[in-house]
A = this chain, B = another copy of it.
Amino acid sequence: MAEKTEKMLLEQADQYLLPRLEDLDLPLGKRTRLHRLLYEHGPGNGTLLLLPIDHGLEHGPRDFFVNPPSRYPDYQLRLAREGGFSGIVFHIGIAQKYMRNYVGQVPLVLKLNGKTNIPSDEEALSPVEATVEDAVRLGADAVGYTLYVGSPRQDEDLIQLGEVRAECDRYGMPLVVWSYPRGRFVDGGPGRNSLYAVDYAARVASELGADCIKLNFPKFDEEKKEHYPKEYREREWTPEEMMRQVVRSAGKAMVLVSGGSKKSDEDLLEKARIALEAGAAGFLFGRNLWQRPFEDGLAITQRLKELMLRIGA
């Protein structure tokens, strides 16, 4: 009897690994805006393919050197429109200056915080430079917030996130949290992409009200595993199992997987397949899509979307 109940519960829960809009308890504003991202743009089957272009702030113009046209946001906007993305991610200055000609064609996700990578990351904190009200004013369909999970300054970060979350609730604006383990206790410990840290980050964002959570692909680092709690060390993990673990920890929030630095197409698609099969809702791939010639970017986009239509359906 007890076991039956639990089995039933687990099965029921696994229905939500990829949460469906109709199953979520969302206010009308969030529902309307997410509907646009999930069904009116991009793959259109309830998955999300977002094109981020915040690298100019986070890394500097250096990320554009390998493909010079990418330094102009028009490049990514055109890629987003021609490739049929769910939306594009911009900071306010870029959004205000470049979106005009893409209205109705490329939904905007306004990134609210960000910073340069010049100072040390030991006490990382990403300051808010724009507001949810800005996002409303600009017609955005979601906002993005980077949370540095485990940073020594996490208290400031969590308060700041809480304020953004409250404004999102007030305006019915979907909240995408970049949930990134960071800071000296992480980097000097389990590592920012470790299964333990990414899994924790997934749950933290879910507990604090994210609608979507951007995560890095988790890995199990043998050399640092003494920094993992024993619960993670007691067993072996395949990439599939690690991805499924973090998707489960995100609960009813949708998981978006980061691309990180540029990889081979096969690596990228393999990663994408694992993520989708584990229940991820989609991707926030940037450099992997625009650090290459435009037509190549379109081509890999198509392969990704096919995968999303096949597995994410």
Contacts and interface: CB of A to CB of B under 8 A. Distances in A.
B204 A116 contact: yes
Contact of A159 (B128, B159, B181): B128
Contact of A150 (B91, B118, B200, B248): B118
A127 B159 contact: yes
Contacts of A251: 72-73, 94, 97-98
B199 A134 contact: no
A239 interface: no
Interface residues of A, number: 97
A229 B9 contact: no
Contacts of A60: 196, 199-200, 203-204, 229
A6 B64 CA distance: 13
Nearest to A101: B25
Interface in A142-165: 149-152, 154-156, 158-159, 161-162, 165
A313 interface: no
Number of copies of chain A assembled together: 5
A149 B118 contact: yes
Contact of A200 (B65, B114, B116, B125): B116
B128 A3 contact: no
A231 B66 CA distance: 8
Nearest to A27: B96
A155 B115 contact: yes
A239 B249 CA distance: 38
A122 to B, nearest CB: 10
Interface string A202-213: 111111111000
A309 interface: no
Contacts of A98: 251-252
Interface stretch (A32-40, A42-50, A273-281, A293-301): A293-301
B208 A69 contact: no
Contact of A54 (B129, B207, B210): B207
Given A57-B207, A131-B166, A206-B93, A5 B294 contact: yes
Given A56-B207, A207-B54, A249-B61, A9 B154 contact: no
